[in-house]
A and B are shown apart, each in its own frame.
Chain A
Amino acid sequence: MATYDFVFSSLGLDDWCSAGKSDGPMSMADLLSKANGGKQEDTSIWDLPFPSMDALNEACPAFPQSRELTKGLEQGFLDIKDSLSVVLDPITQPLSWALDGTLYAMLSAPWWIVIPLLLAVVLVVSKSWKLVTFVAISFFTLAFIDYYEYAMQTLAIIFVCAFICVLLGVPIGIAMSRSDTLQRMTIPILDMLQTLPPFVYLIPLIFLFSVTESKLYGIAIILYAIVPVIRLTNLGIRLVDKDVIEAADAFGMTPRQKLFKVQIPLALPNIMAGVNQTIMMSLAMVVIASLVSAPGLGVLVLRGIRNLELGVGLVSGLGIVALAVILDRVTKASLARINAAQKQ
């Protein structure tokens, strides 16, 4: 007899319960009670179990156990997986191409082209020779200790993923800023994406895509990193001075003119802050994504953990820090230039 027998008997479900009775494997607790001669111990109120699925199952074998819930979820996912792949595979295929193409381009081009090119980009974006010097020293150091290839792989992945995040995130943010309903619907999803432990993304993705495809880690990084750019685009556009918007209306701007001539330019500092965050979060995720075959410095970190190679782990960790500092400073420098151009 179990604690919650009365629930089922009072509902008249005894038949249904006994119909589900089976001589399946016993739990350890059952075995123990059997060994004790099947004597019911008097349970005091202190030992009252919570009416959980398992406790109810004890009273009525037809009632599902909790492990059947997780199992059912898994089964359900496996059932829809194939049809889901049919839809998702072609849509996400360009991501694989972009990642593979960029990785190939950055690695096959000789270092004496890639490094000056990157430095030129830094100079154009930040207009700061100090920063260019810092970036040059970082790259040459990484290359000198033979981490050049790994660092470039990591950078290539971040470039592609951050670019796609901006490409998708900014329009989503704009749409959110225009509709309160959409904002209400999207914010819980964004909250979930941001708080879900990053490892959790990887599990369903492994089921959906093959580990050999680069879009697997691409999607994981994008899902994780797209949130800030969406949030800050939405926020930035909503924060645009109401008076300026009113002036735009009073002079007869169409919604499109208002968006491109007023809202986006005035929201640009916030959007750029979002881009900065997105890049930093892609960097964080690219390390974790090395678990699912993302190349780059993350692989070395993983090697450090798996083989307890302290030196490799530390040096690659420091390499990631160097990349993080570079990406952060360069985007912040361009942000500062935008801010200076339009302070009120």
Chain B
Amino acid sequence: MANDIKISIKNLYKIFGPTPDVGLEYVKRGMDKNDLLEKQNHVLGLKDINVDMREGEITVIMGLSGSGKSTLIRHLNRLIEPTAGEIRFDGEDVLDYGEEDLRKLRRERMSMVFQKFALLPHRTVLENAGMAMDVRGFKTADFESEARKWLARVGLEGNENQYPHQLSGGMQQRVGIARALVSNAPVMLMDEAFSALDPLIRSDMQDLLLELQEELQKTIVFITHDLDEALKLADHLVILKDGEVVQQGDPQDILLNPNDPYIVDFISDINRARVLRTRSVMTEGVDDSLQFAGDVSDQDNLETVLSRSGGDTSLTFRVMRENEPVGTLDMKALTRALVPTEASSEREKRSA
């Protein structure tokens, strides 16, 4: 958790319309999205976004369509220009970049994977994978071994000389990922990269991404509208609604302490036992006088513990992190954690 901040977004606003600056003033004075559209004919894209993305982590930005998540990710490499705010990349403000610096950023420090793959239909898989190198001026021969290596890594050995239209959707997206990896950029932007794939393949691709991430430790910004996907991948979860950040933080934390009814709605349907991990529900400290039914890892999900306990709620487990005991897990606490929580705002209302 002590990783450096790679990308930092500060007070970012985006307003679409003929005179965004005017719209910005209204928004800063408190006009909401609907009023802005009706009275000023401007669309509020993003409102006061503050997100820090840490090096080597997967930051997932989740929201429904129209929440501004795709707009947000396009600000990172300035495919869309913000109306106001700051985007810091390794401490430098990306908005100060001129054309040449910006191109360098896009070529060498950021790569992107797209929802609709966006491969070049007239180039082979190999040439597509090497697109980033080709853009930098390398010849096919220079990057061929690198491209072959990553294509093999994403499971496309032997498809190098085919054309994208000869591949299935899942395979095309593998090419998209290989293309991002060949560029060797430290930051990978993934815009609903798996949303166009069917569920089984999507799950495969998520596993592939996690596997690659284990190995490469890139800084990944992942956009999705699917909560299960978000919870599976996220180290840091940002939930957007109508262009605003509703809540952000550790996904486990958001699950246990949702601060908005909107998020409660969102998380009401998921399988909490599979998503929650023991570290989130354990009590810290180990009392050695207790009788433990066994040891569990702090990364285990509750489902694993439930199946080990055989449904017996009187048991207590010892939670281990890298072979060190760190906490105690009471089965009763575990069972309580499976009941969806109310939003903190609602709870405050009730107690008041």
Contact = CB atoms under 8 A, between A and B. Distances in A.
Interface of A: 241, 243-244, 246-247, 249-254, 257, 261-262, 265-266, 341-344
Tier of interface size on chain B: 20 to 34
B122 A244 contact: no
Contacts of B189: 250
A251 B122 contact: no
A307 B117 CA distance: 65
Contacts of A249: 79, 106
B87 to A, nearest CB: 15
Given A251-B111, A251-B183, A262-B120, 20 more contacts: A241-B118, A243-B114, A243-B116, A243-B118, A244-B121, A246-B118, A247-B114, A247-B118, A251-B106, A251-B112, A251-B131, A252-B104, A252-B108, A252-B132, A252-B135, A266-B122, A341-B163, A342-B163, A342-B165, A343-B121
Contacts of A341: 122, 163
Interface in B87-120: 102-108, 110-112, 114-120
Nearest to B137: A257
Contacts of B112: 247, 250-251
21 contacts: A243-B114, A244-B119, A244-B120, A244-B121, A246-B114, A247-B112, A247-B118, A250-B110, A250-B114, A251-B106, A251-B107, A251-B111, A251-B112, A251-B131, A261-B120, A261-B134, A266-B120, A266-B121, A341-B122, A344-B121, A344-B164
B122 A343 contact: no
B77 interface: yes
Nearest to B115: A243
Nearest to A247: B118
Contacts of B115: 243
A271 to B, nearest CB: 13
A253 B77 CA distance: 13
B106 A252 contact: yes
B62 to A, nearest CB: 21
B106 A250 contact: yes
Contacts of B134: 261
Contacts of B107: 251-252
Nearest to B133: A251
Contacts of A252: 102-108, 132, 135-136
